[in-house]
């Protein structure tokens, strides 16, 4: 039920969980569909055939409701243990990279290393703005889970 580790956009978190990042302006990659997706957009995403959640997150910005975003990211991280989870924004770099870095933090990675990890293992251009980098550095949900 999880992603193929070498598939396009798939990031292996430090614990081994696999999450796919992608840009919604690009065609859907070949292969299995997500079982759950988290869409990070300024407006409601288009309808899809799989379960999904929307976090209002304007392009080049931060989520409009940071508490709701933290809850959604935690759900995505938890579900990635046994499901095909996709994180996506318009281009698949800034907001998606920021969210993937936050998942790495949830996975046990120190905040100050998460952006570099995502840039090395997902996309060099991930996490596009200084405030997105700062968001990752300060990302700390109150009930941070422990990675297995």
Position 68 scores a pLDDT of 93
Instruction: Provide the token pair at 76.
Output: 């995505």
Furthest CA-CA distance within the chain: 37
Q: How far is CA 110 from CA 5, 16, 26, 32, 78, in A?
A: 23, 16, 31, 31, 18
pLDDT of residue 3 exceeding 90? yes
More confident of the two residues 148 and 93: 93
Q: Are strands 85-89 and 18-23 parallel, antiparallel or unpaired?
A: parallel
Position 48 scores a pLDDT of 92
pLDDT of residue 113 exceeding 90? yes
**Average pLDDT of the chain, as a whole number:** 93
Domains and CATH numbers, the chain: 10-138 (3.90.190.10)
Position 141 scores a pLDDT of 65
pLDDT of residue 58 exceeding 80? yes
Residue 7: alpha-carbon gap to chain centroid: 16
Tell me the per-residue pLDDT of 117-138, one tens digit each, with 9 for 90 and over. 999 999 999 999 999 999 999 9
């Amino acid at each position: 039920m999880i992603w193929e580790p070498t598939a396009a956009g798939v990031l292996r978190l430090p614990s081994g969980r696999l999450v796919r990042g992608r840009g919604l302006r690009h065609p859907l990659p070949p292969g299995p569909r997500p079982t759950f997706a988290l869409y990070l957009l300024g407006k409601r995403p288009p309808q899809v055939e799989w379960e999904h959640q929307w976090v209002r997150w304007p392009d080049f910005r931060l989520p409009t409701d940071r508490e709701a975003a933290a809850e959604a990211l935690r759900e995505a991280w938890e579900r990635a243990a046994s499901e095909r989870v996709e994180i996506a924004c318009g281009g698949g770099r800034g907001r998606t990279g920021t969210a993937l870095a936050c998942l790495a933090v949830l996975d046990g990675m120190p905040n100050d290393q998460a952006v570099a990890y995502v840039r090395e293992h997902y996309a060099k251009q991930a996490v596009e703005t200084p405030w997105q980098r700062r968001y990752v550095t300060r990302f700390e949900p109150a009930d941070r889970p422990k990675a297995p």
